[in-house]
Structure 1
Amino acid sequence: MYCETDDELVELVERARKYTEDGKVADYIPALGRAEKCDLSIALYYTDGRCFKAGDVDKLFTLQSVSKVLALALAIMDNGEEEVFRKVGMEPTGDPFNSIAKLESQVPAKPLNPMINAGALVVSNMIEGRSTHDKLGRFLTLIHDLTNNTSIDVDHEVSDSEFETAHLNRALCYYMKQHGLITGDVEDLIDLYTRQCAIKVSCLDLARIGMVLANKGRDPETNRMIIPEGIATLVKTFMVTCGMYNASGEFAIRVGIPAKSGVSGGIIGLVPPSMGIGVYGPALNEKGNSIAGVKLLEMLSQRYELSIF
């Protein structure tokens, strides 16, 4: 059972919007701290071309950790699954997304999964290109293909703000460079990573990416295979097990769909084989997920029985 009208979504958005009062925007990144706390929007994109949306759908926001899903797909396309997972694990973690603790206790010292910051930095380091510009260009091309929107670009104010405050990510990089997981210049990697995270999208863009992933990596409108099916399956699995930080287990129980969040308040979700979901709500809970966005997805899943479990 799927949503059939915008009005159905409008009702759910307004019911969920009150939860924004209990959240907090990510002001530890100065440029993100200016977001409107009460914003909330959602878009649904189906493989048959139908699209429904509600809320503040014209608001643009940056991918942040949502980009980790696409970086993982690109790195595997570039290097192969075996090489990527030689340097990063496949296991969920109960620690915060920016924690260094597990790196120090793991033998060998590699990140537990690609959805935490340490793992994502290793993955971004594996994207092929002669320069940061080349690597970012290839990443943007993938996003343009997935969204069918070539106007998507980096928000340089946000990327500059993140670059200046990325002290913990630098620490993670230098630790992993010492253990041979990261090669090359750390500042170049931080530059790429912050620009990757600062790519600006709408909730409709996220919904279309989710739709292509739901359709096994193939764009149903062009019939083009954008991400190989096996890689699309793999990244969707990581979305289930690790996509909502250390709240992924609860999200799987309450919502039950593959999803990935970012500290800008974006959430990408999907329901195989036919629907992608994009959500934006910058007020975050204590785990770094959109507080009203998660509630909105919970309501949506319950009403339309979306859980894959």
Structure 2
Amino acid sequence: MKCNSNEDLQQIVNEVRFLAKEGNVADYIPALAKKNKSDLAVAIFDINQTCLYAGDYTKKFTLQSISKVLILALALQDRGVDYVFGKVGMEPTGDPFNSISKLETSIPSKPLNPMINAGALAVTNMIQGENLAEKWERIMSFVQMLANDKEINFDEEVAQSELETAMLNRALCYFMKQHNVIEGDIEELMQLYTRQCAIEMNCFDLARIGAVFALNGLDPKTGERLIPSHIARICKTFMVTCGMYNASGEFAIKVGIPAKSGVSGGILGVVPEKYGIGIFGPSLDSKGNSIAGQKLLEIIAAKYDFSIF
């Protein structure tokens, strides 16, 4: 399916692009420091098989924390709701996404939710497979299926860059292993997690995945069930409560749709029963969210009455 340029969307992109200069790219990951902070693009995938875009919607970016939603969906299918949430909580947090503090003070010591790094690492640890290669193959096949694109792969440079600098994530893993939240080899888990975060796609692919969630797990083209409906609902709920890091409450008020951001500048948006949205704008605010991308979504949501509330 081809995306069509839309003048209204392009006008909004032009209006908010200046905000990018107020933020910064995620330079703590060396490979992401090279990105052009002025990039901004959006694709909106209608469940009735039309697509609109503005900006360079084919430019690729890595998913980073957006992958947490997709891996949660796969882990819930692999392990079931009771197992997953026996090890990871369901509550939002006002702490930064990479914080270790709640692990130290919570009893039992488990991550508050699957959208912070500790929770996402625990969830990735649940993916079934005999070894790293088998687990990775299952993750890639699942993501390719959701996007209907077998060409999707991961950026090896970004994955390696993250692997070499992920000392805090390693600390989270060892803390959780001490408390029996995760098991197995930590370095193997880190390889799997950094590859997962480095999965690369464009706004169209991301919007198409959003359309699957908009349809509660159904393929928008074939009607085939790709994700059980109760799992799609759980994932969308976490997107509302925790998807925009510790700015999720403000985002829910201003925009009002399930969304998940990543520090590459991507945002996955879902308008239930209507649209999937993919946004890319690598300049970030202090919370780690695309600064122009959020404003773009806010204006679009207000103009087209997207809010679920």
Q: With structure 1 as the length reference, what TM-score do the two structures score?
A: 0.98
Partner residue in 2 for 1:102: 102
Q: What is the correspondence of 1:5-154 to structure 2 with a 5 Å cutoff?
A: 6-154=6-154
Deviation at 1:135, TM superposition (A): 0.9
Deviation at 1:16, TM superposition (A): 1.1
Q: Does 1:179 align with 2:179?
A: yes
> After superposition, what is the alpha-carbon deviation per residue over 1:253-290, rounded to whole angstroms, capped at 9, x for unaligned?
00000000000000000101120000000000000000
Distance 1:209 1:68 in 2: 13
Deviation at 1:5, TM superposition (A): 6.5
RMSD: 0.8
Q: What is the correspondence of 1:153-164 to structure 2 with a 5 Å cutoff?
A: 153-164=153-164
Distance 1:306 1:5 in 2: 20
Distance 2:246 2:32 in 1: 22
Partner residue in 1 for 2:203: 203
- What is the total number of aligned residue pairs between the two structures? 306
One-letter amino acid matched to 1:121: L
One-letter amino acid matched to 2:49: G
> After superposition, what is the alpha-carbon deviation per residue over 1:67-96, rounded to whole angstroms, capped at 9, x for unaligned?
000000000000000000000000000000
Deviation at 1:182, TM superposition (A): 0.7
Distance 1:247 1:220 in 2: 30
Partner residue in 2 for 1:233: 233
Deviation at 1:58, TM superposition (A): 2.2
Distance 1:241 1:291 in 2: 19
One-letter amino acid matched to 1:88: V
One-letter amino acid matched to 2:108: P
Distance 2:299 2:259 in 1: 15
Distance 1:193 1:301 in 2: 32
Work out the percentage of aligned pairs sharing the same amino acid.
59
Distance 2:219 2:89 in 1: 29
Secondary structure of residue in 2 paired with 1:218: coil
Distance 2:65 2:131 in 1: 22
Distance 2:288 2:132 in 1: 28
One-letter amino acid matched to 1:240: V
> After superposition, what is the alpha-carbon deviation per residue over 1:280-301, rounded to whole angstroms, capped at 9, x for unaligned?
0000000000000000000101
